[in-house]
């Protein structure tokens, strides 16, 4: 394996992807961003699979390592590395991932490329008001 490409980078494989790498998931309205994070790698299955989590984080600026510290995981699943490209484009940085139980479960749910984006929209995006655009305050989200 060669040298890590540095951040940001568009992962085409899992060669340089590490647990803790994160990316921005733009909300469909509101002009804000949610955050996905690589939580680990499945013990069995495809070499291009990663376990990702949707963080309880939504801000008007792109996530940075310091801003996501302490954010909990709302949901997680096993998905293809292409998910990053399909929902945000590039891995922006690295931060210690939260501890999540059940990552080693061989029956961990498999997610399609856009599942995390749909969850982000359900949890945050649909709660933004139509005006003003972009929104000036974070919405409460489903769990309030």
Which residue range is the domain that position 50 belongs to? 21-127
Residue 11 in any domain: the answer is no
Question: Average pLDDT in the 39-47 region?
Answer: 82
Residue 115 in any domain: the answer is yes
The model's pTM: 0.87
What is d(CA 8, CA 92) in angstroms, rounded to the nearest whole number? Answer: 4
CB 55, CB 70: distance < 8 Å? no
% of residues, the chain, pLDDT over 90: 55
Cross-strand partners of 144: none
Residue 12 in any domain: the answer is no
Q: What is the pLDDT of residue 17?
A: 95
Q: How is residue 66 written in tokens?
A: 């310091």
Residue 72 in any domain: the answer is yes
What is d(CA 37, CA 50) in angstroms, rounded to the nearest whole number? Answer: 10
Place of tokens 């699979």: 49
Number of domains in the chain: 1
Secondary structure of the chain as H, E, C letters? CCCCCCCCECCCCCCCCCCCEEEEEECCCCCCEEEEEEEECCCCCCCCEEEEEEEEEEECCCCCHHHHCCCCEEEEEEEECHHHHHHCCCECEECCCCCCCCCCCCCCCECCCCHHHHHHHHHCHHHCCCCCCCCCCCCCCCCC
pLDDT per residue over 96-138, tens digit each?
A: 998 888 888 877 889 999 999 999 988 887 666 666 666 666 6
Cross-strand partners of 38: 52
Residue 27 in any domain: the answer is yes
Q: Is the pLDDT of residue 144 over 70?
A: no
Residue 16 in any domain: the answer is no
């Amino acid at each position: 394996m060669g040298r890590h490409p540095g951040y940001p980078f568009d992962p085409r494989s899992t060669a340089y992807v590490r647990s803790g790498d994160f990316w921005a998931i733009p909300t469909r309205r509101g002009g804000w961003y949610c955050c996905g994070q690589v939580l680990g790698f499945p013990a069995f299955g495809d070499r291009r699979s990663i376990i990702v989590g949707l963080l309880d984080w939504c801000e008007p600026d792109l996530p940075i390592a310091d801003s996501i510290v302490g954010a909990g995981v709302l949901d997680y699943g096993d998905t293809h590395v292409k998910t990053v490209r399909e929902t945000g484009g590039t891995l922006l940085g690295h931060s210690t991932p939260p501890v999540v139980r059940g990552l080693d479960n061989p029956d961990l749910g498999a997610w399609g490329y856009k599942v995390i984006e749909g969850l982000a929209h359900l949890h945050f995006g649909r709660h933004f008001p139509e005006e003003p655009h972009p929104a000036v305050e974070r919405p409460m989200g489903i769990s309030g």
